[in-house]
C-alpha cells in the first residue's frame, strides 16, 4: 500500500512520519497542494490524503481517477470545495475528519470573548503608550450574561461547557436538537428569539446556502443593543458590510472573528505590512479596538494537527483495504 499526502506542512510532518512508521505503510509527503500542476505526482499510489482551500476541480479529480485512485481522504471537515459531480462520476469514496478537536476551537472562541469583555486590546495599547489609567475602560462579566449558541454540534457543545463554567446562562438554536440538551431545556424556538435574549451570540454552524449571511442587517436589528458576536465557524455566516454598519452604530459592542467571508488567499499569508493587506473591509475591522481577528487558527493546536493527519491517514488506509471507512462523506 502506498499513500500520497498533499499540502503537508512542517508542523504536520512528524505526525505523518510517526504514523507511517507505526503502520509500516509508505506515505509520500508533498508540500504543494493538489492541483493541475501536482496531480501527476499521485500516479502509482493507492490513495490520496489532502487539505486545501483551493477547489478540488473536475479535471484534477478526473486525472486522479485515471491513475486508479478512488480513495480520497480530507484532513479537514468541509467538502464544499469538492466537485460532487466528478466524485460521483469517477466512483470516488471520500472521507473527512469531522472532529479533530472541538475543544481547541471552543477554547479560542471563549478566550477571545474574555479579551473583549475585559478590554485587554485597549489596555495593551494604553500600556504600550505609558498609560496605566483604568478609566474609562471598565469591563463586563460573562457570568452575568446570556450566551446564545447557534448550532449544537461537537464544537457548539464544547463551547457551551466552557460558558457554563463561567456561570453564564446558555440558550441555543439548532434545527436538530441534541437529546441531552433537549432535556436541559436550553433550546429556543427561533433565531429571532435567540437574538432577542442573547448578550453574546456564538456561531458554530456550517456554511450552507440557507445559512449564508445569517447575520445580516435584519438579524442585527433584532439583537440587543451592545451584543457581542463570535464567529469561529465559517466566514459566510456574517454579512461583512452589515457587521461594519452594526459596529458603527453601536448595535454590536464587539466582535471576535476567526473566519472571514473573503479569507481565501488572504488568511495564512504574510503580506509584509498591514498596508499591503489587499482587503479594505478586513483592514477596517482589524483597526478597531473592539474587533479581534485571527486568521482561521482556532483549530491550530498540536492535538488537532496530530488528529487531522492521523485520522485522515487511518481513513485512507481503511478505504484502500475495505472500500469504506468510519468517516465517509455522502455526495
- Of 234, 261, 281, 321, the catalytic one is 234
Question: According to CATH, what is the number of the domain 102-293?
Answer: 3.40.50.720
Q: What is the pLDDT of residue 207?
A: 87
Residue with cell 510517526: 18
Q: In percent, how much of the chain has pLDDT > 90? A: 95
* Residue 48 β-bridge partners: 4, 72
73: helix, strand or coil: strand
What's residue 233's pLDDT? 95
pLDDT class of 85 with cuts at 50, 70, 90:
very high
pLDDT in tens, 306-321: 999 999 999 999 999 9
CATH 3.40.50.720 maps onto the chain at: 2-100+302-322, 102-293
CATH topology of domain 2-100+302-322: Rossmann fold (3.40.50)
119 tagged catalytic? no
Report the chain's C-alpha Rg in angstroms: 22
Catalytic site residue 75? no
Q: Which of 296, 302, 321, 326 is catalytic?
A: 296
Q: Is the pLDDT score of 53 beyond 90?
A: no
Cβ-in-10-Å burial (0-12, 13-18, 19+) of 264 comes to: middle
Query: What pairs with residue 56 in β-bridges?
Result: 82
CB 108 within 8 A of CB 232: yes
Is residue 12 part of the annotated active site? The answer reads no
For 245, counting Cβ atoms within 10 Å of its Cβ (0-12 exposed, 13-18 middle, 19+ buried), the class is: middle
> For residue range 241-262, what is the model confidence (pLDDT) as tens digits?
999 999 999 999 999 999 999 9
Q: What are phi and psi of 97, to 5 degrees?
A: -115, 95
Question: DSSP labels for 80-135?
Answer: TTB-HHHHHHHT-EEE--S-S-HHHHHHHHHHHHHHHHTTHHHHHHHHHTT----T
Residue from 12, 75, 119, 263 carrying the catalytic annotation: 263
Predicted TM-score of the model (pTM): 0.90
Amino acid at each position: 500500500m502506498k499513500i500520497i499526502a498533499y499540502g503537508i506542512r512542517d508542523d504536520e510532518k512528524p505526525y505523518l512520519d510517526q504514523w507511517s512508521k507505526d503502520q509500516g505503510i509508505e506515505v509520500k509527503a508533498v508540500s504543494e497542494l493538489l492541483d493541475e500542476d501536482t496531480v501527476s505526482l499521485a500516479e502509482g499510489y493507492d490513495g490520496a490524503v489532502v487539505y486545501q482551500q483551493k477547489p478540488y476541480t473536475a479535471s484534477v479529480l478526473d486525472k486522479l481517477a485515471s491513475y486508479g485512485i478512488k480513495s480520497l481522504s480530507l484532513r479537514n471537515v468541509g467538502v464544499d470545495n469538492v466537485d460532487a459531480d466528478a466524485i460521483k462520476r469517477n466512483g470516488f469514496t471520500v472521507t473527512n475528519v469531522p472532529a479533530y478537536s472541538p475543544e481547541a476551537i471552543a477554547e479560542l472562541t471563549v478566550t477571545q470573548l474574555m479579551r473583549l469583555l475585559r478590554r485587554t486590546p485597549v489596555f495593551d495599547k494604553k500600556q504600550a503608550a505609558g498609560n496605566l489609567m483604568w478609566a474609562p475602560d471598565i469591563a463586563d462579566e460573562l457570568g452575568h450574561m446570556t450566551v446564545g449558541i447557534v448550532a449544537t454540534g461537537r464544537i457548539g457543545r464544547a463551547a457551551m461547557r466552557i460558558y457554563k463554567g463561567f456561570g453564564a446562562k446558555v440558550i441555543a438554536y439548532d434545527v436538530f436538537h441534541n437529546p441531552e440538551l433537549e432535556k436541559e431545556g436550553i433550546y429556543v424556538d427561533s433565531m429571532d428569539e435567540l437574538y432577542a435574549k442573547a448578550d453574546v451570540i456564538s456561531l458554530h454552524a456550517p456554511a450552507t446556502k440557507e445559512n449564508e449571511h445569517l447575520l445580516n442587517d435584519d438579524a442585527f436589528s433584532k439583537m440587543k443593543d451592545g451584543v457581542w458576536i463570535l464567529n469561529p465557524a465559517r466566514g459566510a455566516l456574517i454579512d461583512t458590510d452589515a457587521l461594519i454598519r452594526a459596529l458603527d452604530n453601536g448595535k454590536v459592542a464587539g466582535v471576535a472573528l476567526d473566519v472571514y467571508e473573503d479569507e481565501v488567499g488572504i488568511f495564512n499569508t504574510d503580506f509584509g505590512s498591514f498596508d499591503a493587506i489587499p482587503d479594505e473591509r478586513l483592514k477596517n475591522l482589524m483597526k478597531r479596538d473592539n474587533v479581534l481577528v485571527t486568521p482561521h487558527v482556532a483549530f491550530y493546536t498540536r492535538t488537532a494537527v496530530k488528529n487531522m493527519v492521523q485520522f485522515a491517514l487511518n481513513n485512507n488506509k481503511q478505504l484502500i483495504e475495505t472500500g469504506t471507512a468510519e468517516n465517509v462523506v455522502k455526495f
